[in-house]
Structure formats: structure tokens, C-alpha cells
Structure 1
């Protein structure tokens, strides 16, 4: 399609990146279930391997179905390019890989998903990287944490599990002053509710498993490149600014300009890390994105009603939903995600840990699963599952205290969801 800026979100979520299949005229994007692609001739093959021509070589690197998904997500986020991969966790490593060297660190929000906290506090140490965890509400602390070895700031637009809102613009200003990229996980918000690049983010990551796919069928991840960062402004990012030995001294920033990070993600990241998204997963996610705006509107509407009901229930201590007028994040939410605060939040049950376990076990419509962003309503007790590896202090900092449960509100009839919570709370707090 022509210039995406001419079209609205609902149109782009259906059409961006997609064209009728040139071989058959198929209107829907086919699943190109193939590992390799025939070269026109030896010269064509050499040009592809030298990065002198864009095309398909091997599906670990590029695939036509995945390519459509990459273009669609990049368009919806307002980026210049994107790289899809096998999971959200893979996307986080893919985002950091071109930026980091042994001895380098990142500044990460304390309110990240528990698995991300573990990945950043434990696993990346094996690469010689480290993370400093900082409360992103404390801008002075964020600024103070930056040192000569800091290569990125990482946070979530809407935090999982608590639904806390990050002031993306304010943190982006700190990153700009330090000459480092800001990476925003936009999984919980999606580009329908929040556009981090417009707020100053350099890179956006997604677990496409969640709201983008929306039906709990496949895992996937994506890294979106804003194309706005100058990788040559300092010597901090040699992978992008300096000659690459594997490509005869090619300099990604010099050769590919705004698309340097995207091309590096494919030519180096997918080539060597192999975190490839399979074409069938890309197909399911493309189907999901076609209804993204419709689903997010219902997720938000249902979440607002349920959060208000819970807030007024005497069996509940606190509700963290930023869409509530009582939330300390309500004013910020209107700036960061003006169409709503998504469908994810936590609430504390009177009776503590034991009451939370009884609640989870007593629900009938809500599913007890380690996922979010599904059309089905989901619940989990984070302290005993997704955040189990963390200390109690880390759990509380992440918004996953022992007396809290996380809910991902689906698109069912809201009256049925409230009735289900009501009967389960009666059993849990009896």
C-alpha cells in the first residue's frame, strides 16, 4: 500500500505489509512453509549473501510470511523496520545483542515481568552483561544509575503484572542526554494504546504471544526499530558503527542508515542466535492483529468495569489498575496510553497468600494460566508462579506481592466475569 500515514490504524492492522500473492493472487498472506529459496543464478546468490541485495536465502533469516508480519508491526508502531523471532524473551536478547559487550550494563525497571527480571539479573551475566534495577518513577535515580558502561535503558510502557504506567517521554529524555537507546516493552499496551516511538523510544519489543496474536495459540517476539538513533555518534556501539568482519568490513550504520539495527538483527542476530519465528506462528499473529483495535477496546472496557467493582468490594484491599480515577498513575496513563490502560492489573485479596490460592482454584470462567492478552480472561498468583524465583522484596517491587493476584481481562460478557469473581471471592474469604 502507499504511504501508511494516509491510513488509519484499523486499516493498517489489516493491510500493512500484505499484498496479493504474486503466484496465485491469493488475498490472504500464504504460509510459506519452506526452509530455502532458489536463487536466480550464482551472481544473485552472492549478492544476497553479501547484503548487496534484499531477498530470501534461508528461513532462519527471512521468510515471506514473517516478512509481512514484520512490516505490519513496524507500521503500527511507527518504526522503520522490525525483526520477528521465536518469543518475547528472544526479542529482549535480540534487542540487546547489537548494543552490548562484556562489561556493559543496562538500566532496567524494577517493575518488569518476573521472567525478565530473572533473565536480566541472572542469565545475561553469562554474556558478561549486567543490569541495574531502578524504580522508573524515580527519574533522579534513573539518571544517577547511568555510567560509562551503560548501553540502554529498558522498561515497560504498562508494567506486567501491576499495570503501572511508565513516563516514557521523561525516561527517553534521560536516555537521549546519555546518548543511549531507550527500549520499551509494549506488550501489555500494544501500539493501539501506546506508541512508544512517538514518546521518544529507540526500540520497541513485543511478546507477540500476547495481545497481538490474542488467542493463546503461538509464541513469538518482535523488535521494532525507530530508525532515529545515531549509532555513530559515539564509540559505544561498535557492532553497528564499526566494520563487520563477517561481511568484509561492511559498516551497518554507514550502509543501511536508519535500517542499520534491523539489518543487523537479521544478518547477525538471526544468523547466529537462530531465534527464528516459524511461518505458521507468523500467520496466526497476522490473523490476530487484524482485530487488534476491536479486541483492545473490549479488553479496556471490561477491565475498567471489573476494576471499579473490585475497588468497591470489602473483600479486596487494593486494585492497581491505572484506569481507575483513584490510581496514582491515572493522569500519566491518559498521556502515555490515551485510549486506555489495557486489560492487565493486580488486586490484593484480604486473607493474603492462602486466600489468593483459594480464589484461583474457585474460578470457573477465568483460566489459571501463565499467559496474558488472550480473548479469554486469565488469572495467576504471581508470587507462587511467574515471580516465584524472586525474593519477597523483589516480588513487592515488581507488584507481585504474596497477597496479590494478576488478572488479564478478556472479551467475554463483563457481567459473567464479575459473577465468577464474586462467587470465587466468597469461597476464598469465607
Structure 2
């Protein structure tokens, strides 16, 4: 009996989706094809693999069976028509953007984009003649529309912003982009397809850092571009000649060859030329992580909400930026778009500024101080001295990145133990900075004493 994968539940799809046509030779697990290239049966076979008229593989920089299995699985989870696996999340964003924009073109982006992406769009692509404008008031459709120019080629945003947890009204921004004949590209890394599938809300392209929640174990790098497969490139009024006019080795344009999937067709050629090919071993490890995605993200989110509520009640904490809290300005959007959980990455601001943040991070024992997120282990980072270090004081202030702000990525440890670790760190700050708070932090309900956490982790 044929099974329609689209009718399967999310947990079933993360284990079984994309198997059709998988060249596993009967293996239960997806094989790791650790090979640079693939043999040709003759000149005609080699020509067919190069001009795209054959489904066979030619070179791992272009495609690989292990990588293809990951692509099919993630495309199925996001509800896309297909996907392209690349080496990192930044490679995914770069590939998607370069598939759509060229010198003289323009991008409209949310001002709340991850700082590395902001620098890519503003500085690196700016040097290549691609300009960008950032929209700060992302809930205002007029602000998005006002930023769009005749030379604009795409609109970009994150579903959940890093680090202050703003939630995007995906449908609102998609409607504005589509009224202007533009595709909406969404970075869905912090949400993962378990919590939010932007294509269902009108997005045209989704990108991920697969290093984060998709893999989940903090050991590999990877990125993915997912094409919704519904944008009408043929009616784009000449904005995308690389898709509608440029002909390949087979004499056809990407639109003639792939129809609504033309972007993914062309994006693969962009990635092939620039070379961000993922290792098949990394692809295999990402696929192992995907199999438990829903279980992990559900637990991540539940613990994060508990911890955010606890932090918000502490006298040494000035504010907590977590959309699951009613105090967050985007809580209404979070309730609408994130019914299965609000995610695990959020920020909070300590009273006492930089000195408090320094003392706090030094005192933590279960949270690892490093630049990563979506790991099975809990992580902490100080954006002001790392990701946002190159911004001016005024720019950091405008972005809400104060000297006392810390970003947490909540892992899979027991929440009471994490709360006890945070309580221990708050006590350390109180001891180091006179007047930080009046008295010790509230005891974590059901958790072990803070000093026991410190001893166990030492």
C-alpha cells in the first residue's frame, strides 16, 4: 500500500520521510557515501550527468546520495518541494541570496536578523554591489512596503529572532512581499520545523543552520535551503533573468527545466560554483539528529518556559526576552504561530551591567560559555562582547543589546538543576557586586541546592 507522506504525523515523517528513491541497497540506516566522485558508465552517461538529463551523481560537490537523503527529509518536514544541503547555515543564507540577487540589486531585511547575517548582507554583499535596508518595526506592513524599491529582489527575516526572541508575523510580511512580486526568505533556525513551518504561512524559501536544532548534538556544521516550490518565477517581470533567461548545458532555462522549483535548481549551481559542499559524514549525523527533533525541541521549550518564568521573578534580573512570557511584546504572535512551544533560545538582562554579566558567566557550572545554540547541553553567551562586538554603543542600544544582556540556549538537562545553577550564579554576582540585590535569589522549586550543583559540576 502506498503511503502519502504528507498525511503522516511530524514524528513519523522525521523518521521515514524521503525514503522513496533512496539508493540504500536495502540498508536500514542511510549509508554514508564517503566519496569525492562517482564512476561513469561511458561518455554518454558522463554527459547526461553533467547536463542534468540524468538522475545519477557526478561529484559530491554537486550532489551525494547521503546528502540527498537529508535534503528529502528536511524538505518533507518543512512542507517544501525540495531542499539543498550545504556546509553551514551562513552558506545556506548566502546561497539563497546569491541565487536571487546580483550587483545592483537590493534586499529588504528585518533589523532583528542574526548579527552574522546582518554583517553578510550589509558588508560582504555590499562590497559586491548588493545593497540592503533593514526594517525595525517588523509588525508594520507599511514599514516593509516603504523599504521596497524597483531593484529589490527578496525580503529576508527570521521566524524567531536571535537573541531577543522577537517573533515574526510571517503571513503579514509574506503578503507585503507578494504584493510587490517578491519572494520571502525565512531563517527558521531557532524555531525548527517542529515549532513553525513558514511555508505554511506564505514564505517561499526557508533556510536553516542545520548545526543547531536539526542536528541537536553540537558536533557538526551544516545548512539547508528549502524551496516552497510555488513562487511563479516565470511571471516575475524580468527580475530574475538567471532563472527565466539564462540557459544551461541542456539548452533550457531553470524555469523551463524545473518549473516552480527553478530557484532550487539554480541554487544548486550557485552552491556548486562557490563550493560549500557538506561532508556526507556530517549529513549522516544531521539525519540522526532529525530523527529525534520533535522530542528534543518539545523538551527544550518546556524547560525554557519554566526557566524564563523563574528568571523573571528574580530581583537581580532587569528583564527577560522570551516570547512565551505575557510580558514579551510579541507574545500574541508567539501564541498564534508557536502552539507547540516557544523555543529554547532567549535573552535576559542582569542589573549591574558588564561586571554582573562577567561574574554570572564565571559562576555557572552546568551552562557552557560558548557561541552555539540548539545543543543538547545548555549554553550561555554575552552578545555585547561576541556577536555584537563590532557594533557601536548606539547601535547596540538601539538593538536592545545592553552590557548586562546574556543569551541562553536551554538544553536537555533537568530544569530544576539548571535553575539551581542560575541561582548559584546570581548569588555569586550578589557577593561580587555590593547592592546588586537585597537578599539571595528565590529557591528553585523542586531543585537541588545551588551549592550542590556547583559541587557536582566541578
TM-score above 0.5, yes or no: yes
Aligned residue for 2:238?
Answer: 235
Q: C-alpha distance in 2, partners of 1:284/1:87?
A: 14
1:141-156 equivalent positions in 2, closer than 5 A: 141-156=143-158
Distance 1:22 1:205, change over 3 A: closer
1:126-275 equivalent positions in 2, closer than 5 A: 126-135=127-136, 136-233=138-235, 234-244=237-247, 246-247=248-249, 249-266=251-268, 268-275=269-276
Q: C-alpha distance in 2, partners of 1:149/1:411?
A: 45
Aligned residue for 2:411?
Answer: 410
Q: C-alpha distance in 1, partners of 2:417/2:184?
A: 40
1:393-408 equivalent positions in 2, closer than 5 A: 393-408=394-409
Q: Is the 8 A contact 2:52 2:250 kept in 1?
A: no
What SS is found at the alignment partner of 2:163? Answer: coil
Q: C-alpha distance in 1, partners of 2:303/2:164?
A: 17
Q: C-alpha distance in 2, partners of 1:296/1:410?
A: 9
Please state if 1:26 is matched with 2:27.
yes
The alpha carbon displacement at 1:249 in A equals 4.0
Which deviations, in whole Å up to 9, do the C-alpha atoms of 1:395-429 show, x marking residues without a partner? 34444322210000111000000000001011123
The alpha carbon displacement at 1:55 in A equals 2.0
1:351-362 equivalent positions in 2, closer than 5 A: 351-362=352-363
Q: C-alpha distance in 1, partners of 2:194/2:285?
A: 19
TM-score, normalised on structure 2?
A: 0.91
Please state if 1:84 is matched with 2:70.
no
Aligned residue for 1:57?
Answer: 58
Aligned residue for 1:346?
Answer: 347
Alignment RMSD: 1.5
- For structure 1, which runs of at least 5 residues remain unmatched after alignment? none
Comparing 72-81 with 138-147, greater Cα deviation is found at 138-147
Q: Is the 8 A contact 1:111 1:399 kept in 2?
A: no
Aligned residue for 2:99?
Answer: 98
- For structure 2, which runs of at least 5 residues remain unmatched after alignment? 432-458
Q: C-alpha distance in 1, partners of 2:250/2:140?
A: 45
The alpha carbon displacement at 1:386 in A equals 1.2
Q: Which has the larger radius of gyration?
A: 2
Comparing 154-163 with 2-11, greater Cα deviation is found at 2-11
Q: C-alpha distance in 1, partners of 2:393/2:207?
A: 27
Which deviations, in whole Å up to 9, do the C-alpha atoms of 1:243-301 show, x marking residues without a partner? 32x526421012211221111122x2122111111101101100000000000110010
Aligned residue for 1:16?
Answer: 17
Q: Is the 8 A contact 1:21 1:30 kept in 2?
A: no
What SS is found at the alignment partner of 1:209? Answer: coil
User: Structure 1 runs of 4+ off > 6 angstroms?
Assistant: none
TM-score, normalised on structure 1?
A: 0.97
Q: Is the 8 A contact 1:20 1:26 kept in 2?
A: no
Q: Is the 8 A contact 1:113 1:398 kept in 2?
A: no
Which deviations, in whole Å up to 9, do the C-alpha atoms of 1:328-383 show, x marking residues without a partner? 21111122222111001000101011111111111000000100000100000001
Distance 1:366 1:68, change over 3 A: same
